[in-house]
Structure 1
Amino acid sequence: MRKRLAVAMTTLAALVLTLLVVVPAASAATGLRVRDGRLYEGNGTEFVMRGVNHAHTWYAGETSSFANIKATGANTVRVVLSDGTRWTRNSGADVANVISLCKTNKLICVLEVHDTTGYGEQSGAATLAKAADYWLSADIKAALAGQENYVVLNIGNEPFGNTGYADWTPHTSQAIQRLRAGGYEHVIMVDAPNWGQDWSFTMRDNAARVYAADPTGNTVFSIHMYGVFDTAAEVSAYLNAFVSARLPIVVGEFGHDHSDGNPDEDAIFATTQQLRLGYLTWSWSGNGGGVEYLDMVTAFNPAQLTPWGQRAVNGANGIRATSREATIYGGDPGDTTPPTAPGTPAASDVTSTSVRLTWAASTDNVRVTAYDVVRVSGATETPAGSSTTTSATLSGLTPSTAYTFAVYAKDAAGNRSARSATVSVTTSGGGGGTCAVTYRVAGQWQGGFQGDVTIRNTGTTPVSGWTLRWSFANGQTISHMWNAAHTQSGAQVSATNAGWNAMIAPNGTTSVGFIGTWNGTNAVPAAFTLNGSACTAG
């Protein structure tokens, strides 16, 4: 995702004339396949992607994200991999594990090589030929063998920038043909040039030619919609051009904002739903370089949906409302009957940071597959967890805080029940034991600084889940924090543990870092509390 060049879209009639060419009929394929411009499962059921991008190659330890993405209702995850050109190569063993995580969580897996991003303009980017080498390497082929029902092979992410993009057509065609000659029968996905946004219409105008280069006819095109697609008319014209030409298209990436302009995300959600086209939101978590606002959750914590995540998951035409699980996992598109509402949840085992909820089971005409727990605040609902049983333990809560929760049931077809009655609970105040905090300014420059905070558990019992609070005296503000999720209201700062550092053993420590701003004076905060308990200076 880089700054793209905006361009006026031509009329839909002109687009249709450009694309209405004779396209060869697709031959039979194993597993997922393309027919008449649509994606189908092996049993002939149409499959419409509703999913999320996940930056696995940079955050390989965040394997819980697959289950958390599934909990949003998603039926697909697009997984970032590397062929070793720009980042550490994802091995066949790692790719096999990714596929296993997708299958365990009943997600269709779109695998993409990210090293090709912006080739021709991005220094060090890989060619599509290099990406094809990766897919054809022995360990990767072994990992994908027999996975045609579950895996879509996305050759390379955004394979040309704004330089040399005229080569997209031959390079993409050659890569497809090499993969087919190498024995791949999977559906292949190809990204557009121009950093994925195709403002030059290179993919649009040459899609039929590239599609015809696939002897199996099982190629899907992917457009990335950021600043170029800032009006509903542009979104509709581009997508309708492919639909009218009977060429398969998905929105492989998009967000609610970007440095190159403000995409019309509402139009993207609405138009894809109207046209029965897939979409994959960017991205679950871990964004940097100034586009952190594209994180759907904060610090990989599924209980902390950002405004973009809230829109993508729970908004109109969003994932939760429109996703249907693949039938290979038991989903039944013919089932439109939702489960009954779950019983009123009961709260137990309440601590300063967690609560256990239990409820009576729902019934369904086929079967209930999962329950979604939501936090209710007025008319707003925020996902709080999910479970395949009639209980869930919710962690990461704030001490001495009132919460209201409710539960939904889902069936195998993706139908969702009415909401249960709600239960309210207030967490206890503290329980963090004794603590010591060391705060230091690690570096300072005009108007900015880096702060490091170390928390030590000086008690005799572990701290399980924590929130550290302090106040700034001189108007300092935090712009970015790592190893914790932060909020700031005026001078008051709250830092809550990430998933991997919730536990602090007796005499153990954990550290938090941040970037902040200051003006004139940058005094060290005078006091800290951990889960409501005062800490000494460490």
Structure 2
Amino acid sequence: MRTRIAIASSALLALVFSLLAFALPAQAETGFHVNNGRLYDANGNEFIMRGVSHPHAWYAGETGSFAEIKSFGANTVRVVLSSGHRWTRNDTADVANVISLCRANRLICVLEVHDTTGYGDEGAAATLDQAVDYWISIQSAMQGQEDYVILNIGNEPFGNNASVNANWASATSSAIDRLRDAGFDHTIMVDAPNWGQDWSFTMRDNAQAVFNSDPDRNTVFSVHMYGVFDTAAEVNSYLNSFRSRNLPIVVGEFGHNHSDGDPDENTIMSTTRSLGIGWIGWSYSGNGGGVEYLDMVQNFNPANVTDWGRRIFTGTDGLSQTSREASVYGGGPDPSPSPTDPTTPPTGGCTASYAVVGQWSSGFQAAVTVTAGDAPISGWQVTWTYANGQSISSSWSANVTSSGSRVTATNVNYNGSLAAGASTQFGFLGSWNGSNSVPSVSCAVR
């Protein structure tokens, strides 16, 4: 009898454990990961994308755009790449350089293959399977970058052809399986059909099955919101359908206008804020074909910000109000101050240090680290005076003003309160001529 009970008990325990193994989702062990419908970075902190798309595949020489996008407050840049099916292929070395630019500017890199756009409607479009071939071919550039890179398999990989779109779920699951089998541990982002807008609800209705098919349960869904989403009801209904089911969703592209209608960008931005959903605006510069109004700056010049750029950068629920840097970067830009960087003695309960992060002909990027003293502070002000005529063109994570050579920086609403010994950082872009010496800085509590 005891033997039979022991056997039965063992069998029961085995059944319980097998059921638990089936019911509990696997979690990615490295880098970004999804849990309960939300995205977390490698430190285990929730990350909400606030970003800008950059058309790198068509403007590969505009590498300064990464620093400029950061200067406007983005925490993410979605980078257009080409597999070579429709445009010039971005090779392994180029992808590695793009990732290094993202990291140097403390941006999370969402990399996407654009050649898949409109498959089923566009004869030249690549398949998702061909996009996976490309990712495998440049995999060496991606290895070890799971903390900083999200893999967006293919941009808008199906058009409006209903018979082709019926394969969206199976093709997407197959693409994810191939990437996992090849050893990709990154968070994977998948775009909706219907040119990304999912008006047929194909992605919405099949998202759970696709998510479950990922052995890492580390897939994020991306909807593109243009003319289909021209009312608050449509925006709210779609996003809440994912949030209510604890399925991860981001607005991977959106605009303020489009050839197919007038998107409700105000609701897109307010609803994503209230629901804690990420978004990436389209796009920094270089648009053509009649949608030039979607440029955020003209001719890749950060001094020529458009109305759409101002809406994204500094408007209500825009980058300046809602963007928070990924904790893998620690907040602010990515300086590595040397021991010789001047640091003020304790003054008014805080100290500050200044470091040049990067420098090029006539331009530079710098970072200032502010550290509270032995007691908490609720606000800070940092000042310095340039000795060589340097000037600041743009900044992030601080309110920076200049009067002649004297510069004053004060905290913004989210980084003024610091616990004793805690630090925060802000950064800026500037110009120099002849010399770019590091100034002495001082910090005072506000």
TM-score normalised according to structure 1 size? 0.62
Q: How many Å apart are 1:344 and its aligned residue?
A: 9.6
> What is aligned with 2:52?
52
Larger RCO of the pair (alpha carbons < 8 Å, separation 6+) = 2
- Distance in 1 (CA, whole Å) between partners of 2:49 and 2:100 is 19
Count of residues paired in the alignment: 353
Q: How many Å apart are 1:43 and its aligned residue?
A: 1.9
- Distance in 1 (CA, whole Å) between partners of 2:167 and 2:242 is 21
- Distance in 2 (CA, whole Å) between partners of 1:201 and 1:327 is 34
Show the 5 A alignment for 1:427-438: none
Q: Is it true that 1:340 corresponds to 2:338 in the alignment?
A: no
- Distance in 2 (CA, whole Å) between partners of 1:180 and 1:55 is 27
CA contact (8 A) 2:390 2:431 kept: no
- Distance in 2 (CA, whole Å) between partners of 1:350 and 1:309 is 26
Give deviations 1:244-285, integer Å, cap 9, x for gaps. 011000000000000100000000000000000000000000
> What is aligned with 1:204?
204
Show the 5 A alignment for 1:257-268: 257-268=257-268
The structure carrying a bigger strand percent of its residues is 1
SS in 2 for 1:238: helix
SS in 1 for 2:243: helix
> What is aligned with 1:170?
170
CA contact (8 A) 1:362 1:368 kept: no
- Distance in 1 (CA, whole Å) between partners of 2:295 and 2:136 is 32
> What is aligned with 1:159?
157
CA contact (8 A) 1:24 1:217 kept: no
> What is aligned with 1:359?
407
Show the 5 A alignment for 1:209-224: 209-224=209-224
- Distance in 1 (CA, whole Å) between partners of 2:216 and 2:123 is 34
CA contact (8 A) 2:117 2:155 kept: yes
Q: How many Å apart are 1:165 and its aligned residue?
A: 1.1
SS in 2 for 1:309: helix
Q: How many Å apart are 1:346 and its aligned residue?
A: 8.8
Show the 5 A alignment for 1:450-465: none
Show the 5 A alignment for 1:94-173: 94-137=94-137, 140-163=138-161, 164-173=164-173
Gaps of 5+ in 2: 1-21, 333-371, 394-401, 434-444
Gaps of 5+ in 1: 1-21, 372-385, 396-416, 419-538
Residues 52 and 125 from structure 1, CA distance in 2 versus in 1: closer, same or farther, beyond 3 angstroms? same
Runs of 4+ in 1 over 4 A off after TM superposition: 335-339, 341-351, 360-364
Residues 269 and 337 from structure 1, CA distance in 2 versus in 1: closer, same or farther, beyond 3 angstroms? farther
Give deviations 1:76-126, integer Å, cap 9, x for gaps. 000000000000110000000000000000000000000000001012000
SS in 2 for 1:229: coil
- Distance in 2 (CA, whole Å) between partners of 1:66 and 1:301 is 12
- Distance in 1 (CA, whole Å) between partners of 2:142 and 2:388 is 45
Q: How many Å apart are 1:341 and its aligned residue?
A: 4.2
Show the 5 A alignment for 1:292-331: 292-331=292-331
- Distance in 2 (CA, whole Å) between partners of 1:29 and 1:142 is 19
Residues 338 and 58 from structure 1, CA distance in 2 versus in 1: closer, same or farther, beyond 3 angstroms? farther
> What is aligned with 2:426?
370
Residues 247 and 350 from structure 1, CA distance in 2 versus in 1: closer, same or farther, beyond 3 angstroms? closer
> What is aligned with 1:530?
none
Q: How many Å apart are 1:50 and its aligned residue?
A: 0.4
CA contact (8 A) 2:27 2:34 kept: no
Give deviations 1:448-486, integer Å, cap 9, x for gaps. xxxxxxxxxxxxxxxxxxxxxxxxxxxxxxxxxxxxxxx
- Distance in 2 (CA, whole Å) between partners of 1:229 and 1:360 is 42
Percent identity at matched positions? 60
The structure carrying a bigger helix percent of its residues is 2
Q: Is it true that 1:393 corresponds to 2:427 in the alignment?
A: no
Structure 1 residue identity aligned to 2:209: R
Structure 2 residue identity aligned to 1:33: H
Residues 63 and 197 from structure 1, CA distance in 2 versus in 1: closer, same or farther, beyond 3 angstroms? same
- Distance in 1 (CA, whole Å) between partners of 2:285 and 2:131 is 25
SS in 2 for 1:115: helix
